[in-house]
């Protein structure tokens, strides 16, 4: 393990970025350390910091190479760890979490792989829905497309590998699963995940701000077709 703050490894990523990997017995533990470092760094608003990109167990720091170099950033991290006891001890405390309840019309015709998932898992279609809504999911990363949040962990009984041949078009709002992850397609796009239903909410606003952010919690709630249409039209 790296000598401070639960960082396992620091890797150069070109001339203007470094990649931090975090230690942890589980993905949740490593991601919690990632979240604390993300908040600690962004709250300080360093003028040389251009971007922070969090993922499951890593954090990419992109800096202005005309102002600082990777050695400077490394020393900043060491100094921050020495000053912040929450980072120094375990890197997991002090991060507030927002919880979203996301409505889903399960089995919606444009996004209905329930029969296929049933065939692969041995669960009934209602059991699939019940399993999917039974968890509180954590947003581990946002990527692939603006607002596309990778969430976990899906119950083991629901695990399905990605489709062998991805679809050319997945509808906007499709709620999907792949392996241990679940997600909502924020816009119409190609995709290879199994589809469970449709969400009526816009996940990205007109200013390109995403509803779901790394570190947020998500609960899915089933709604009827009429409720979907009312929310979608509203």
Q: What does the pLDDT look like over 94-136, one tens digit per residue? A: 556 789 999 999 999 999 999 999 999 999 999 999 999 999 9
> How much is the pLDDT for 209?
84
d(CA 14, CA 65): 10
How, if at all, do strands 194-198 and 174-178 pair? antiparallel
Of 21-30, 107-116, 210-219, the range with the highest mean pLDDT is 107-116
Q: What percent of the chain has pLDDT over 70?
A: 92
For residue 225, give both structure tokens.
Answer: 């077709």
pLDDT tier for residue 59 given thresholds of 50, 70 and 90:
very high
Q: What percent of the chain has pLDDT over 90?
A: 64
Question: Is residue 31 within 8 Å of 153, Cβ to Cβ?
Answer: no
d(CA 141, CA 59): 10
pLDDT tier for residue 2 given thresholds of 50, 70 and 90:
low
pTM (two decimals): 0.81
């Amino acid at each position: 393990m790296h000598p401070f703050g639960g960082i396992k490894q620091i890797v150069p990523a070109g001339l203007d970025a470094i990649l931090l990997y975090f230690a942890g017995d589980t993905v949740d533990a490593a991601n919690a350390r990632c979240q604390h470092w993300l908040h600690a760094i962004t709250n300080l608003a360093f003028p040389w910091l251009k971007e922070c990109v969090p993922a499951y167990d890593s954090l990419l720091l992109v800096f202005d190479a005309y102002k600082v170099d990777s050695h400077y950033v490394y020393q900043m991290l060491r100094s921050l760890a020495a000053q912040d006891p929450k980072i120094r001890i375990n890197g997991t405390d002090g991060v507030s979490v927002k919880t979203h309840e996301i409505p889903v019309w399960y089995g919606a015709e444009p996004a209905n792989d329930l029969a296929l998932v049933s065939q692969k898992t041995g669960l009934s279609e209602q059991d699939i829905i019940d399993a999917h809504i039974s968890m509180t999911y954590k947003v581990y990363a946002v990527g692939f497309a603006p607002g596309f949040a990778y969430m976990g962990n899906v119950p083991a009984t629901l695990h399905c590998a990605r489709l062998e041949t991805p679809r050319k078009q997945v509808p906007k709002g499709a709620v999907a699963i792949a392996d241990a992850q679940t997600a909502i397609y924020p816009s119409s796009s190609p995709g290879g995940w199994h589809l469970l239903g449709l969400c009526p909410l816009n996940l990205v606003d007109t200013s390109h701000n995403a509803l779901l952010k790394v570190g947020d919690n998500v609960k899915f709630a089933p709604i009827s077709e009429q409720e979907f249409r009312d929310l979608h039209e509203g």
